Amino acid sequence: MLAWMLACGGPSDPSSTPTPTDAGSTPATTSDSGWTGPVEVLVTLDGAPVVARVYADGEVAPRWTDDQGRLWLDAARVVVASHDEARTEGADVEGGRAVVALERYALDDNEAYTFQDPGRPDDRDDASRCAHCHLSQVEDWLGSAHATSASNPVVQDVYAGTAGALDTAACVAAGGTVLEGLAPGTRAPVDRCYVGAGTLPDLDPSCAATPCDAVATRTGGCADCHAPGIDGALGGRDLLEATGLAYRYGVHCDVCHKVDEVDVEAADRGVAGALRLLRPTETSLTPGLPWRALTFGPYDDVANPRMGSVARHLFHEAELCGGCHELRQEVLVPGAAADPARWPDGRLPVHTTYDEWATGPLSPVSPCNSCHLPPDPGVANAADLEPGSEDEGVTGGWPRPPGSVRHHTFDGPRRPEAGMLALAAAVDLSTSVAAGRVTAEVTVTNAGAGHALPTGEPLRALLLEVTARCGAEPLDPVDGDALPAWTGALALGPVGTRWPGARVGDRIRVVERTGGFRDDPGWGPFGDGTFSPAEKGLPVELVRGEREVVGVSGDTVTLDAPLPAGTYAVRVPGPGADPLPALAGAPGRAFARVLADRDGALMVPHHRAVDVVADNRLLPQASSTSTHTFVATCAAPQVTATLRYRPLPRALATERGWDAADTVVVEVTR
Average pLDDT of span 186-201:
96
Q: What is the mean pLDDT of the chain?
A: 91
Predicted confidence (pLDDT) per residue in 415-473, tens digit: 989 999 999 999 999 999 999 999 999 999 999 999 999 999 999 999 999 999 999 99
Report pLDDT for 570: 84
- Cβ proximity of 421 and 447 under 8 Å: no
| Residue 34 binned pLDDT confidence (cut-offs 50, 70, 90) | low
- Cβ proximity of 432 and 438 under 8 Å: yes
Strand partners, 70: 42
Number of DSSP helices (H) and strands (E) in the chain, helices first? 12, 32
What is the secondary structure of 134-192 as a DSSP string? -HHHHHHHHTSTTTTTTT-HHHHHHHHTB-TT--HHHHHHTT-EEEEEE-TBT--EEEE
What is the DSSP code (8-state) at residue 523? S
Q: Report whether pLDDT(6) > 60.
A: no
258: three-class secondary structure by DSSP: coil
Strand partners, 664: 644
- Determine the Cα–Cα distance for residues 559 and 571; give it in Å rounded to an integer: 12
- Determine the Cα–Cα distance for residues 94 and 34; give it in Å rounded to an integer: 8
Which of 235-249, 357-371, 417-431, 478-492 is least confident?
A: 478-492
What is the DSSP code (8-state) at residue 482? B
Query: Quick count: other Cβ atoms within 10 Å of Cβ 516?
Result: 13
Q: Report whether pLDDT(36) > 90.
A: no
- Cβ proximity of 83 and 101 under 8 Å: no
Report pLDDT for 497: 63
Average pLDDT of span 611-617:
98
